[in-house]
Structure 1
Amino acid sequence: MDFLEKYKPKKLEEMIGNKKAIEEILKNNFKKPLLLYGSPGVGKTLSCYLIAKKLNFEVYEINASDYRDLESLKKVLLISKQYSIFGRKRIILIDEIDGLSIHDRGATTELIKIFKESKNPIILTANDAYDQKLKNLRNYCKLISFSKVPYPSIAKYLEKICKNEKIEYDERILKNIAQRCNGDVRASILDLESLIKDNKLLSSDLLSPRDLEENIFNSVRIILKTKKIDIAKDVMNNLDRTPEDFFWWIEENVGREYKGEDLKKVLNYLSLADIFRRRIMKRQDWILLRYYIDFISVGVALAKKETYHKYVAYGFPTYISKMGIMKAKKKEMEEKIEKLRNKMHCSKKIIVEELPYLKQFLKL
């Protein structure tokens, strides 16, 4: 089990930071729709699930980017007026409401109708509640701010994980991880896990830029949640990674999102994508690239019968993590070989040949 799943808070008391925001949600008693806003990874979506658990509610989650048309929103309106089959109330969670396009005026009108007619509590989440396109929606909601989690709190939490997992660590590296994640607890746990090798914590210098990682998580989430071809294609058109990198992100996370026949179907699409990738590399037939891209985006999006309305903690690709560590170790060894070559006044080839013997009495 990966760290995100293993150390995901099971109750509200276990969450790091934003205690006042959670208290305010409970105190409000859902008298009006709530708009939770703040940076990614600070606990907006997770807190909704934990509050629902505490109140014995169910959660019906939708992603705003996948519910732009009136027909989809009318379905949400119908659900918002009903209790669950067990007679329990539902929290209607509309995630990433700032994903609505400025052209989705009909969607905004329908959402306001849902606010007025719903018999269940409604919670919306956004990174920026003061985005211009949310102007009309803000008037119907109570805004609750989720702030970035202080880095000392994150570092302390990472230290707890290291101790539980018996990982050899340096406190300075933990602080570096906590600082660079900019208040994003989820990102810090992913970074920590990606740096572990043989129960030791490697240098945080090996980590990729944080802004790129945030973008790729959003892209993966949209592909796995949507069932619309145009949205899937938009993601690939605006991707800040190579399609091959994105393949590994999707491959790592489909098993967390999809189940049963949906999972079989999506793995088949990924297998076909891999076949096309090999043909492209072997024959240099780049015309096939468009099919490869469609398999890992449109194919994955349409493989599911219905969108999964659940919270999923997506992870960093194991393959990319291992490749990064291997490259770093190779570079480190090459630097040591170069130093030995200069000191021993011999060729690199001789150093490489004698390396097994040199390792016996040198720290390499």
Structure 2
Amino acid sequence: MEERDMGRNNHLDWTERYRPSNLSEIIGNGSAVKQLRSWADSWAKKRPKKKGAILVGPPGIGKTSAAHALANEYGWDMIELNASDKRNASSIDKVVGHGSRSDSFSEEGEFRSSARGELKLIVFDEADNLFGREDYGGAKAIVQAMRSSAQPIILIVNDYYELTRRASGVKKLAMTIYMEIPSANQVLNALKIIISKEQIEIPSEVLVQIAKNSEGDIRAAINDLQSIAHLRPDQMSEVVMDLGWRDIPPQTYQVLEEIFLSKDPSEARKALIRLDETPDKFILWVDENIPRVIKDARARSSAFDMLSRSDIFLGRVGRRQHYRFWAYSSELMSMGIAVVSGGKFDVYSGTIRRFPEYLIKMSQSKSRRNALKTLISKIAKEHHTSSEVARESIIPYIRSLCISNTEFAVELAMELELQPGEIALLLGVESDSDEVERIMNMTEGADRSSSEDDEGKDRADRCVEGQQLSLFEF
């Protein structure tokens, strides 16, 4: 294809080049920006009611950009930890402790002294995505950081429930700010500003199509714009159509709001159809939130009656494996509840966010069962025996030894590469307990010492063999 000359800016990432420099440039989300400024003002006045803020919303709508814009607008330095960084307890302690107390220089070369109380914004991107040994203790450390930090902290999450499930303490320590998906017109206006600054011409119908395709994902829209900017105008329409729609399913709480607060039952039904969740799981969300929304006893009874009828069809699916009954169940729990509740009760939409207690308990039970399964497998393999023998005859003795002998527990954790849940089972405690954290920290310390000893031995062996060492190896 023939390309147009884009000059020196062709290689630049436009999502970074046109990242908002202050909160006024954030697309849409006026309410969220107002809340964020109010929180930042409380820090600027040294009287923060909440030490942290949680930015919640789908990917690509400007959460990280809002954090950057806030730091720039208030003249704060920024320390950022994202998903590519190790975010265990030790790493977070270093960032919140040493990092927040160290001095720095601004981009203009101005010295900034932490001793004079100049603030640094600490940002945890994808704070709901903490998994594995690398991030062990991260959720607990984030809560502790918010309690003790003398610096403002922002958590950026896609899934608020995943964050609060792992670190429930943040709900009381941080202001929760929900960022909404921008409209197609707002995305379109942003694209027009970009092409104006780039001094390029793109047909208006192409810009409209990109904005619609993005479904509110600003980052995706800008990337699409940059990807077709080098083409001739007559080629752009065809390529944009090939890029296709980004069908972004609504989050669970958005569908709940549509069902409980919408006056149009058909819209509630459409929202549930787009949700990437099966009716047998979503019914738990509706059941948990009916008492929080519907205050009138008669209306509440009618809502539960609709939900009971929906559950009958779910039961038939289970017994007969006739999944067409899911359609009837879905309509009863969406349109039926909307008829009873939609728009009739003065309820703030943000309160319709209670996670089903049943799912919480099942999740806790599942993680424990999985930990037991992997623990049995590791011990059986180590002892060259069956899983049944390991479970019935070996694990009880190992458990007694681990409880009475910490050194044995550390050695076992290192040898079998045990996860926190597996160590918790052997010690008879919860996976987030201090005992498990101490074992994990001792394991990491022993790993580092072993690695250093191996490196020292290797250098000594090479000296004996007469090999020349580099200056940096001494």
1:157 aligns with 2:187: no
Does residue 124 (structure 1) correspond to residue 155 (structure 2)? The answer is yes
Q: Take 1:166 and 1:150, find their aligned partners in 2: how far apart are those partners?
A: 25
Aligned to 1:21: 32
Distance 1:211-1:65 versus aligned 2 partners, 3 A rule: farther
Displacement of 1:81 in angstroms is 4.7
Relative distance call for 1:115 and 1:182 in structure 2 (3 A) is same
| 1:161-200 equivalent positions in 2, closer than 5 A | 161-198=194-231, 200=233
Partner of 1:58: 77
C-alpha distance 211-82 of structure 1, shift in aligned 2 (>3 A): farther
2:31 aligned counterpart, secondary structure = helix
Equivalent position SS for 2:28: coil
Gap change, CA 1:43 and 1:84, over 3 Å in 2: farther
Q: Deviations over 1:157-209 (max 9, x none)?
A: 21233344443433222122112212111210110111123453612122166
CA shift in 2, pair 1:49/1:163, >3 Å: closer
What whole-Å deviation, never above 9, does each CA across 1:12-38 have from its counterpart, x for those lacking one?
222211122121112122422101111
Task: Give matches, 1:88-103, under 5 Å.
Answer: 88-101=118-131
Structure 1 residues 102 and 20, CA gap change in structure 2 (3 angstroms): farther
- Counterpart contact for 2:81–2:87, Cα < 8 Å: no
Partner of 1:202: 236
1:126-166 deviation per Cα after TM superposition (whole angstroms, max 9, x unaligned): 01212233434333221001111111111122123334444
Q: What is the alpha-carbon distance in structure 2 between the residues aligned to residue 83 and residue 43 of structure 1? A: 29
1:63 is aligned with what amino acid?
A: N
| 2:37 equivalent to 1:7 | no
Equivalenced residues, count: 212
Q: How far off its partner does 1:114 sit?
A: 1.0
Greater Rg over alpha carbons, structure = 2
Is the 1:94–1:123 contact (alpha carbons within 8 Å) kept by the matching residues of 2? yes
1:75 and 2:94 aligned: yes
- AA partner of residue 41 (structure 1): G
Please give the secondary structure, in 2, of the residue aligned with 1:130: helix
2:35 match: secondary structure: helix
1:109 aligned to which of 140, 143, 162: 140
CA contact (8 A) 1:44 1:125 kept: yes
Distance 1:26 1:125 in 2: 16
Distance 1:58 1:22 in 2: 19
- In the alignment, which of 59, 82, 85 is matched to residue 40 of structure 1? 59
In structure 2, the residue matched to 1:282 is none
Please say if residues 215 and 247 of structure 2, whose CA atoms lie closer than 8 Å, have aligned partners that are also in contact: no
Provide the C-alpha distance between the structure 2 equivalents of 1:115 and 1:109, rounded to a whole number of angstroms: 10
- Partners of 1:37 and 1:143 within 8 A in 2: yes
Contact 1:83 1:90 in 2 (8 A): no
23-32 or 114-123, which moves further after superposition?
Answer: 23-32
Equivalences for residues 163-312 of structure 1 within 5 A: 163-198=196-231, 200=233, 202-203=236-237, 204-207=240-243, 210=246
Cα shift at 1:211: 7.0
Residues 211, 68 of structure 1: alpha-carbon distance in 2 compared, 3 angstrom cutoff:
farther
Query: Matched residue of 2:161: which SS?
Result: coil
Identity of aligned residues (%): 30
CA RMSD of aligned residues (A): 2.6
CA contact (8 A) 1:36 1:125 kept: yes
The one of the two structures with greater contact order (alpha-carbon pairs below 8 A, sep at least 6) is 1
Structure 1 spans left out of the alignment, 5+ residues: 213-364
